[in-house]
Structure 1
Amino acid sequence: MKTSTLLITATTLLVNAWSCSPKKSSDQTGETVATADTTISLPAPYATKSTQNFSKIVEWPAGKTPQAPAGFTVTEYARDLQSPRWIYVAPDGDIFVAEANTERKGVKNAVVNAVTGKNKSERTDVSANRITLLRDTNKDGKPDLRESFLTGLNQPFGMLVLGDKFYAANTDALMQYDYKAGQTKISTAGKKILSLPAGGYNNHWTRNLLAGPDGKKIFISVGSGSNVGENGIEKEARRANILEVNPDGTGERIFASGLRNPVGMGWEPTTKMLYTAVNERDELGDDLVPDYLTSVKEGAFYGWPYSYFGQNEDPRRKGERPDLVKKAVVPDVPLGSHTASLGLAFYDKTAFPEKYRNGAFVGQHGSWNRSQFSGYKVVFVPFQGGKPGKPEDFLTGFLTGKDKDAYGRPVGVAVLPDGSLLVADDAGGRIWRIAASKS
C-alpha cells in the first residue's frame, strides 16, 4: 500500500488514504508528520491570519433534530437544561448531567428564536453549578425521572461512582460524597479530597474524571491556564496534564503531560489503553493546530506549549526547551484544527452495526478561531485490532447553514446500557439520543 497524505484544507481535515509505511519530512512551508497509521501535511505557522469568528446560537425549530447516518434515529432525550456540558452513566444505569459553563461576569448572551428572529430571552452568563439526575425507569428511551441531584458546586464537570462514593470534579477541587445506588439527591456535605489548579484561561475550567480499569486509581484531566504559556510557565503547575490519584485523593502524580486541554478520556475496549481527546492551541492560523485523539502513554510528553503535533516547534516558544521538543510524542488521530474536540466515548455495546463496535465517538464543540467554521458535530473513529482509523462524520446539523447561526454545540457523549448514544448539546440546552433504527 502506498504512503499517502492527510491534507488540512481551508474548510476541514480531508483524509485521502491510510498508510502502512508512515514517513516524516519537512520543507520551508510546513511539516509532514508521521502518526501511527498515516502522515499529515501541516501548513507553516501564520500561513493564514488568525481570526475570531464566533457562532450565534439560535433556537432549534420545533421537531428539528441533528442528523445521523441512515439506519439511526435521533430523538430529544431531555431539554431545558442550563448548559448540559457532560454526561456520566453510573454502574446502575442512572444518568448524571453536569450543568456548568464558562463564566464571563456581566456578559449577556442573547438566545434568538430561529423562526421569528426575535430574542427569546437574555440571561447573564452564570454557571448553574449543579448535577442533574435523569432516570429512564420505563426503559422506553425517555427519562421519566429528573431530579436536581447535587447543587452548590463550582463549575462541576467530571463525575464518578466508585463503590459507596460519588465524586464530582469542580474546577478547583475533587469532591467526594457518601452515596448509595438509586438515591435521587445528595443533601449531605461533601469532602474536598484534592485541590486542583484553577483560574487563568477561562475556557479551560473543565476537570474530567475516569476510574482506572480496576477501580484503584482516579484519572483527572486538567487543561492549561493559558493558550501557549504566555502568562509564564510557573503559572502552569499541575496543568496541561492528566493526573492520577488514589480514590481518597492521596498519591497524586502526573500520568502524562504536555496535553493542552485533555477533556474526554476513555479506555479502549480491547487493549485497555487510555485515550484522550485534546483541544489544541489557537492563533497560528486557520489550519493550525489540529485537535486530536491519542493513546496516552504513561510518563509521555505531548508537546504543549513548546511544540505541536509532535516536534513542530511553536514559534512563540522557539528555542526555550529543545529537550522537551525532542521527546514530544506524535498523537494518533488528527481531528481538524479548532474543532474543539472535547467529548469521548468508546462504543462497547452491540446495538449499533458491527463497524461501530469498539470505536470512539468524539464530540466537537466547534471553532471560534477559524475563518470558516469547523467542528459543530460528533465524529466517529473506527478501531480495528485496537488501532484507530479514519474519522468520519456521525452527528451533524448543528450549523444552520445561514450566516453564523448554530442551533447548538455538541460536547459530552456517553453510551447507555441499551446501546444507544447520548450527546450533550450545551448551547441548545438539550441532550440528544441516537439509537439504531428498528428493522
Structure 2
Amino acid sequence: MKRKVALSSFIPMLAVAGLLWYGASQQNTITSVIPDADNAGLKLPEGFGALKAADGVGRARHIAITPAGDMYVKLNRLNKDGNGIVYLHDSNGDGKMEDAKGFANYIGTGMYIKDSYLYASSNTEVFRYKLDDKYQIANPTPEKIVTGLIDRHQHESKSVVLDNAGNIYVNVGAYSNSCQVKDRNPGSMGREGCPILDSAGGIWQFKANKLNQTYGDGVRYATGLRNVVGLDWNQQNNQLFVMQHGRDQLHDLFPNLYTVQQSSIYPAECMYAIKKGDNAGWPYIYYDQDQHKKILAPEYGGDGKKEGGKEAIDPSVAFPGHMAPNGLLFYTGNMFPERYKNGAFIAFHGSWNRAPEPQAGFFVVFQPFKDGKPFGKWEIFADGFSGSTEKTASGRADHRPCGLAQGPDGSLYVSDDSKGTIYRILYKK
C-alpha cells in the first residue's frame, strides 16, 4: 500500500535545490515555473531569474496580462495570418505560452486592460473589446472609441492608458523633430506658434465608454510633449506619468552651436508627472540633464546655454539622451522585494543617433518611488537584450525592449519588437 506524503514535506527540498519558483497560477495555487538556464540571456539583480515565455510572436509592442495570466500582444506589423493582435495562453503552467491565436486587421502600439475590456490602438483610432468571464474576447468585432487621430508617418504610435474615473489617455506624437519650417533641415527655424500642437504633440483625454469620439469630443490634457510611447497611471497619487522621447540632431541642424559629442548625449529623455493643462515645453525648449535646466531650442533663438520655458513643467526624472523609452510600468505586485513596490520600470528601446558615442539603451531600468514621487537614483534592472556589448555599441541589437506588463503573480513581462520575444522575470522568495 502506497504511503501518502504531504506536499509540504517536499517544498523545502525543492526550494533548496532551486527548482521551485513561487507564484499564483490561474487558480491561485502554487506552481513551478523554472527560469531558463541562461535567464533568457538577461543580466538581472541577484535573486531574479527570467525565461522566454514566448518567441517569434511578431513586432510585439505593448502588452496586457489578464487576471487569468493570459497575454494580449499588440503588433506593429501584421503577422503572416494578417493579424495585428495575438492572444497567448500557457496551457500547462510551465511559464511558456504555447497556445497562440490572432485577431484584428490593424497595426499599432497601444494595449491595455481595464474593467473587463481590452483597449487597443491603431495609428489613428482606439478600439475596445469586451472580455468574457475567462478574460477572452467575446466578439472579435470591436467598438470604436476614438477615430480620426492624426498620422503623418512620424511618431505615429498611439499609446493608451486608463485612469480610475472612466477616462482614457492617448498620446498623439508630433509629426516633427522640432517644429521647423522645413523639418530636419539644417538651419531652418521654428514655426511661430507651432501649429502642430493643435492636433499633436500632447496627451488627449477621452471617455473610455463613449463611441466614435473625435478631437472635438476630447480634451487636450497636456501639451508640449514631442512623443510619448511609454505611459502609466500611478495608483499612489492618482496621476498620469509619461516618458517623452527627446528631440534629435542638435549638431546636424545647428553645427555652429553644438558639437557632435553634445548632440550625441543631449537632450534628456524625460519622465513627467502630468496634471490637466500641463505644458512640457516642446518644441520651444529641451531639458539638459547635466545643466539641470530647461534650455531654449536653437530653432527659437537658443544657443545651448540660454534658458527658456518658464511656464513649462520640470521633469520628474531626466535620463540620458536618445535611449527611446517605450514602456512605463508602476509595479504594484508582491513577488518582488518591498523596495520595488510602487516604483517604476522603464523599457528603453535603444538609440540610433548617439555617434560618435556608443549607442545606448536596450535595457529595462528601475526608478524607485516614495509616496508617489521619484526617490533616489535609477538603476539598470534587466540588461543583455542586445546580445553583446558590441551589438549595443553599434546599435545592431538582437532584441529591443518595448512593452511592460505585470502578471497576476507579480512577475514582470517585457516584450521585444525586433524578434517577437516575450520575457518573463521572476523573483525567488
Residue 193 of structure 1 corresponds to 145
Aligned partner (choices 231, 244, 248) of residue 278 of structure 1: 244
Residue 170 of structure 2 corresponds to 220
Residues 428-439 of structure 1 aligned to structure 2 (within 5 Å): 428-438=419-429
Residue 110 of structure 2 corresponds to 158
SS in structure 2 of the partner of residue 402 of structure 1:
helix
Residues 67-216 of structure 1 aligned to structure 2 (within 5 Å): 67-101=43-77, 130-148=84-102, 150-153=103-106, 155-163=107-115, 165-182=117-134, 184-185=136-137, 188-202=140-154, 204-214=155-165, 216=166
Is the CA contact (8 Å cut-off) linking 2:47 and 2:427 kept in structure 1? yes
Aligned partner (choices 356, 359, 363) of residue 377 of structure 1: 363
Which one-letter code corresponds to 1:219 in the other structure? Answer: Y
The C-alpha deviation readout for 1:76-105, integer Å capped at 9, x for no partner, is 11001111111112355431111115x9xx
Please report how far the alpha carbon of residue 260 of structure 1 lies from its aligned counterpart in structure 2 after TM superposition. Answer: 1.0
SS in structure 2 of the partner of residue 344 of structure 1:
strand
Please report how far the alpha carbon of residue 141 of structure 1 lies from its aligned counterpart in structure 2 after TM superposition. Answer: 2.3
Which one-letter code corresponds to 1:414 in the other structure? Answer: A
Which one-letter code corresponds to 1:167 in the other structure? Answer: Y
Aligned residues: 350
Q: Distance in 2 between matches of 1:396 and 1:126?
A: 30
Q: Distance in 1 between matches of 2:81 and 2:365?
A: 27
Aligned partner (choices 373, 388, 391) of residue 387 of structure 1: 373
* Higher relative strand content: 1
SS in structure 1 of the partner of residue 325 of structure 2:
coil
Larger Rg: 2
Please report how far the alpha carbon of residue 235 of structure 1 lies from its aligned counterpart in structure 2 after TM superposition. Answer: 4.1
Is the CA contact (8 Å cut-off) linking 1:159 and 1:167 kept in structure 2? yes
Please report how far the alpha carbon of residue 144 of structure 1 lies from its aligned counterpart in structure 2 after TM superposition. Answer: 4.1
Which region of structure 1 is more displaced relative to structure 2, 131-140 or 420-429?
Answer: 131-140
Is the CA contact (8 Å cut-off) linking 1:159 and 1:168 kept in structure 2? yes
TM-score when normalising by structure 1: 0.73
Residue 12 of structure 2 corresponds to none
Residue 406 of structure 1 corresponds to 397
Q: Distance in 2 between matches of 1:355 and 1:419?
A: 14
Residue 314 of structure 1 corresponds to 297
Could you say if the C-alpha distance between residues 329 and 131 of structure 1 is closer, same or farther in structure 2, counting changes exceeding 3 Å? same
Residue 335 of structure 1 corresponds to 319
The C-alpha deviation readout for 1:381-433, integer Å capped at 9, x for no partner, is 00122221311001111231236242211111111110110011111320111
Q: Distance in 2 between matches of 1:201 and 1:337?
A: 23
* Higher relative helix content: 2
Please report how far the alpha carbon of residue 67 of structure 1 lies from its aligned counterpart in structure 2 after TM superposition. Answer: 1.4
Q: Distance in 1 between matches of 2:236 and 2:196?
A: 38
Q: Structure 1: 5+ residue runs without aligned partners?
A: 1-61, 104-124
Please report how far the alpha carbon of residue 167 of structure 1 lies from its aligned counterpart in structure 2 after TM superposition. Answer: 2.5
The C-alpha deviation readout for 1:4-37, integer Å capped at 9, x for no partner, is xxxxxxxxxxxxxxxxxxxxxxxxxxxxxxxxxx
Is the CA contact (8 Å cut-off) linking 1:100 and 1:128 kept in structure 2? no
SS in structure 2 of the partner of residue 286 of structure 1:
helix
Q: Distance in 1 between matches of 2:141 and 2:268?
A: 42
Residue 269 of structure 2 corresponds to 291
Q: Aligned-pair RMSD on alpha carbons?
A: 2.8
Please report how far the alpha carbon of residue 198 of structure 1 lies from its aligned counterpart in structure 2 after TM superposition. Answer: 3.1
Residues 250-289 of structure 1 aligned to structure 2 (within 5 Å): 250=213, 251-284=217-250, 285-289=263-267
Please report how far the alpha carbon of residue 177 of structure 1 lies from its aligned counterpart in structure 2 after TM superposition. Answer: 3.6
Is the CA contact (8 Å cut-off) linking 1:225 and 1:236 kept in structure 2? no
Could you say if the C-alpha distance between residues 212 and 64 of structure 1 is closer, same or farther in structure 2, counting changes exceeding 3 Å? closer
Question: Quick one: percent identity of the two aligned structures?
Answer: 32
Please report how far the alpha carbon of residue 313 of structure 1 lies from its aligned counterpart in structure 2 after TM superposition. Answer: 0.9
Which one-letter code corresponds to 1:131 in the other structure? Answer: I
Is the CA contact (8 Å cut-off) linking 1:67 and 1:396 kept in structure 2? yes
Which one-letter code corresponds to 1:208 in the other structure? Answer: S
Residue 198 of structure 2 corresponds to 237
Please report how far the alpha carbon of residue 244 of structure 1 lies from its aligned counterpart in structure 2 after TM superposition. Answer: 0.6
Q: Distance in 1 between matches of 2:71 and 2:118?
A: 13
Which region of structure 1 is more displaced relative to structure 2, 302-311 or 375-384?
Answer: 302-311
Residue 8 of structure 2 corresponds to none
Could you say if the C-alpha distance between residues 258 and 324 of structure 1 is closer, same or farther in structure 2, counting changes exceeding 3 Å? farther
Please report how far the alpha carbon of residue 130 of structure 1 lies from its aligned counterpart in structure 2 after TM superposition. Answer: 0.8
Is the CA contact (8 Å cut-off) linking 1:92 and 1:181 kept in structure 2? no
